[in-house]
Amino acid sequence: MKHTIIGGGIGGLTLALLLEKKGFNVEIYEQAESFQPIGAGIILAINAMKVYTHLGIHEQIEHHGIELSEMNITNPSFDILSKTDFSNLKSKFQTKTIAIHRAQLQNILLKNLSTTQIHLGKKLKSINKLKDEYELTFQNGDVIKRKMLIGADGLRSKVRHYIFPNSNIRNGHQACWRGVTSFKLSTFQQNKLLEAWGKKVRFGFVPIDNEKVYWYALKSTPSNEKPIFDFNNMFKNFNPLVTELIKSTPQNSIHYAQIEDLLPMKNWYYNSICLLGDAAHATTPNMGQGACQAIEDAYVLSEKLSTENIKNAFSEYQQERYSKASTIVKNSWRIGKISHLSNPILVTLRDTIMKLTPSSVGQKQLENIFN
């Protein structure tokens, strides 16, 4: 039986690599005409890197990325409110946390695939149920028939819409701009992720190799309309490094998106169709776990698919992954709201509580995620 994956993102490629290593016949249908480098970085936390260690490609990822030593939440002046030291977690799990350009990770995954068939320019148009298989029609007119299907096609998944047409995408009412710039950080800022929280606005940045920095800026927005990226005004009270990073980035390479997630659903599969990653549990990017959870999905699903009974495999996969993924969606949504408070009194209270909270609390929360 062919294991057909719709979507060639990080989750889909990781699943293909895991299934390929088990000797399965794997194919990917990806809507893009080619794998283009996207101007964004990605944090591969310990739970994701454990999967890539299992695959034996962790050293390639470490070579092309930057190991992170700590994560800091700060006020606009970069005074630390909350600090998470990754050294204890590295020692406990014997695994590093890596920041890398998304395109570099994509290239590593593609390079390590050997037997998987990848079909580009295949945007899914519709799915129809036949007697004992599914008929997939693509925008270019191609039609295929498959007995089993895995939807790894993101937040606006066509596969999910077919099996669960009433699923709901939730608007976070936050605008997000992302960029990658050639910039040499000071020695103090190297190997660290920093996110500065202000009033209804925040800014984060992290090195993704020795010469490049990935940054992101978020602003509360009441509507779906794209706001003007007036960063001089947005970040006038922030450390000057914020505007330096933005100004050093080619304006045509800055990407905009509205922050959204998927309202948690009761099921991730129906008959012999299953969802993975954002298609099943898209989360806001406030915990750096979106891609990491897709990678975890890929590992668990690949293990369950070793059985001959597809429906049992899908059921066991959901049982094992549902609680953790849903909790991350919920907590990430909550963090997004807390980080964008507008009331000055609540902002002061938030910052004070963060300063007084022992670092061991954050360490314990991350340990639960990484297990």
Strand arrangement of the beta sheet that strand 70-74 belongs to: 80-85, 70-74, 192-197, 201-207, 212-220, 169-182, 255-262
Can you give the pLDDT at residue 322? 97
Mean pLDDT of 10-39: 93
More confident call, 313 vs 364: 313
Length of the chain: 371
Check pLDDT > 90 for residue 7.
yes
Residue-number span of the structural domain to which 318 is assigned:
2-37+103-170+263-337
Separation in Å, CA 347 to CA 219, 285, 339, 344, 353? 15, 21, 9, 5, 10
In-domain check, residue 212: no
* Lowest mean pLDDT across 55-59, 226-230, 262-266: 226-230
On whether residue 149 sits in a domain, the answer given is: yes
What's the pLDDT score for residue 119?
Answer: 97
Token digits of residue 364: 């314990």
- What pLDDT is attached to residue 262? 97
Which residue blocks in the chain are alpha helix, DSSP H?
Answer: 10-21, 46-55, 58-64, 86-93, 102-112, 158-163, 231-234, 241-247, 278-281, 290-304, 310-338, 344-356, 359-370
The answer to whether position 183 is within a domain reads: no
Q: Is the pLDDT of residue 358 over 90?
A: no
Average pLDDT over residues 44-66: 97
pLDDT tens column, 124-179? 999 999 989 999 999 999 999 999 999 999 999 999 999 999 999 999 999 999 99
pLDDT surpassing 90 at residue 360: no
Question: Crossing angle, helix 86-93 and helix 46-55, to 10 degrees?
Answer: 30
- What is the pLDDT, as a whole number, of residue 294? 98
In a domain, 115, yes or no: yes
Nearest to 267, CA basis, from 325, 308, 307, 306 = 325
Q: What is the reported pLDDT for 363?
A: 79
- Going by their DSSP bridges, the two strands 134-138 and 192-197 should be labelled as unpaired
Neighbour count for residue 62 (Cβ, 10 Å)? 17
Q: Determine the residue type at 339.
A: S
**Predicted pLDDT of residue 16:** 98
Residue 370 in domain: no
- Residue 59 covered by a domain: no
Q: Which residue has the higher pLDDT, 215 or 210?
A: 215
At position 267, the amino acid (one-letter code) is: N
pLDDT of residue 348: 94
Report the C-alpha gap between 283 and 158 in whole angstroms: 18
- Average pLDDT of the residues of the chain: 94
Contact between residue 38 and residue 53 where contact means Cβ atoms under 8 Å apart: no
Please report the sign of the dihedral spanned by the C-alpha atoms of residue 142, residue 145, residue 149, residue 155: positive
Task: Determine the straight-line distance between the first and last CA of the chain, rounded to whole angstroms.
Answer: 32
Q: Could you give the percent of the chain with pLDDT greater than 70?
A: 100
Q: Give the pTM.
A: 0.95
Query: Measured between alpha carbons, how far is 70 from 134 in angstroms, rounded to an integer?
Result: 47
Q: Residue 141: inside a domain, yes or no?
A: yes
Q: Residue 225: pLDDT above 90?
A: no
- Quick: pLDDT tens for 274-324: 999 999 999 999 999 999 999 999 999 999 998 778 989 999 999 999 999
pLDDT at 181: 96
78 conformational bin, left if phi > 0, alpha if psi -120 to 50, beta if neither? left
Burial 110-121 (b: 16+ CB within 10 A, else e): eebeeebebeee
pLDDT at 337 exceeding the cut of 80: yes
> Is 276 a member of any domain?
yes
Residues 333-354, mean pLDDT to the nearest whole number: 95
Whole-angstrom distance, CA of residue 293 vs CA of residue 285: 11
Tell whether the model's pLDDT for residue 223 goes beyond 80: no
Query: What is the arithmetic mean of pLDDT over 329-341?
Result: 96
Neighbours of 356 (CB within 10 A): 8
* pLDDT at residue 41, rounded to an integer: 94
- Considering its fold, how many domains does the chain have in total? 1
pLDDT of residue 296: 98
Predicted confidence (pLDDT) at residue 69 exceeds the cutoff of 80: yes
Which CATH number fits the domain that encloses residue 283? Answer: 3.50.50.60
Q: Of 185, 173, 190, 175, give the one whose Cα is nearest residue 242.
A: 185
